Structure formats: C-alpha cells, structure tokens
Chain A
Amino acid sequence: DSGVTQTPKHLITATGQRVTLRCSPRSGDLSVYWYQQSLDQGLQFLIQYYNGEERAKGNILERFSAQQFPDLHSELNLSSLELGDSALYFCASSVASQGTGELFFGEGSRLTVL
C-alpha cells in the first residue's frame, strides 16, 4: 500500500461528458503529480501541484484541468471527453517539489470513453 488513494478505480462514460478524478496523497507529501497512460503513448506527465500551487505543466490538454486543495488532495477534471482520452490516469505524491524525491503512486483510475 503506497498510501496514495485514487478514486474512482474504474469509470465508463460517453463522449462529450465531464469526469473528475480524485487523489489523496500520502500523509506528509506536498507534491501531487498526474500522469496519463494510454496504450499508444505510454506514461506521460500531465501536471504537478506543490502545496496548493501549480508547479509544472506537461502535455495536458486545455480540456483538462486540475487543482490541489488546502488539505492537499487533488482533483483532475476532464471535460468534453473524446474516445482518445480513454486511458489509465495515475497520481503520485512526493515530499519533494522537484523530481528528485521518491514517488508513491496510486492504483490508477481507468477511464473508458465510449
């Protein structure tokens, strides 16, 4: 058990819909990272928050947004969903603000867009 909790584990929705994925980091970790893993593109970094502030942005689409709340949990919002958004979405947490701290991954949220 990594200590990182992601919900929901599975989600099936239709094109055009909006979903919210939630991540609770490990106790004491200030950084939350979001990653997308699709079959054709492997793992890709989406966005990082550190102590409530956006820290780094990767290949995140404009239809996607995220935030980190005062209790440090984070949400990833995906809107106007397309078939190609079907993927595993992972969050990870770390003590460090840079990419040099050990990462603890959640079990992932599997999104299927029909």
Chain B
Amino acid sequence: KNEVEQSPQNLTAQEGEFITINCSYSVGISALHWLQQHPGGGIVSLFMLSSGKKKHGRLIATINIQEKHSSLHITASHPRDSAVYICAAPTSGSRLTFGEGTQLTVNP
C-alpha cells in the first residue's frame, strides 16, 4: 500500500460540473501539496496546506489531519482544467511521496 493514495485515477466531467479529487495518506505529515501537470508535462504547485481549507479562484483544497485525508475541489469546471492532478506529502523529512495522479478530462 502506497503511503499516499489518490482517487479516482481517471475522471471525466462535463463543463460546469463540480469536481472532487481525494487524497489519503497513511503517515503523519506536516503539510500536503496539490500539483497540476498539464499535457505538455509542466508541473504547477496549486496548494500547500497543513490545516483547514485554502481557496484560489475556482479551486478549493481541504485537509483533515486527524482523518489523514485531503480533497481538491474544482467548481464550475472548464475544459482548460483538463490535466493530471497530483497530491504529495513529505512522508520522511523533506522527501516527498507522490500520489499516482488523477487524470481529469473536462468536456465542453
């Protein structure tokens, strides 16, 4: 079992739908990262959070430290949101362990 697990692996949505991607981890962590990787390969950091909730535009990330669970929500999804979303956590010092990623496709 991976220390960081994501679900679902693949997600297809219609434009405008509300999307949720989940991430669970099995070890105590101090923070969790959400990353976005576009088809061209580049990676962008979306959020780093250690408690509660953060919002940036249509993206919302939440974390529940006690339940070892984080979610990434996208409101009013758009085709340009199509990408791979990856959660990652420092499971040992500064060593990041990555989830397998969620391939999101938003159709117009």
Residues of A within 8 A of B33 (CB): 103
Residues of B within 8 A of A31 (CB): 94
Contact A102 B45 (CB under 8 A): yes
Q: Give how many A-B residue pairs fall within 8 Å (CB-CB).
A: 67
In the complex, B56 has a CB within 8 A of chain A? no
A43 to B86, CA, bound (A): 9
Contact A100 B50 (CB under 8 A): yes
In the complex, B14 has a CB within 8 A of chain A? no
Contact B95 A56 (CB under 8 A): yes
Residue among B30, B44, B97, B100 making CB contact with A98, cutoff 8 Å: B30
Residues of A within 8 A of B101 (CB): 42-43
- Interface range for A: 20 to 34
Contact A99 B94 (CB under 8 A): yes
Interface residues of A in 56-91 (CB under 8 A from B): 56, 58, 88, 90
Contact B98 A97 (CB under 8 A): no
Residues of A within 8 A of B97 (CB): 45
In the complex, A2 has a CB within 8 A of chain B? yes
Residues of B within 8 A of A90 (CB): 43
In the complex, A55 has a CB within 8 A of chain B? yes
A101 to B30, CA, bound (A): 10
Given A43-B86, A103-B33, A33 and B48 contact (CB-CB distance below 8 Å) = no
CB-based nearest A residue for B40? A107
Residues of A within 8 A of B89 (CB): 99
A98-B90, A101-B48, A103-B35 known; 8 new pairs, CB 8 Å cut-off, are A35-B96, A43-B86, A44-B98, A45-B96, A97-B94, A99-B93, A100-B31, A100-B50
Chain B contact residues, CB within 8 Å of chain A:
30-31, 33, 35, 41-45, 48, 50, 86, 88-90, 92-98, 100-101
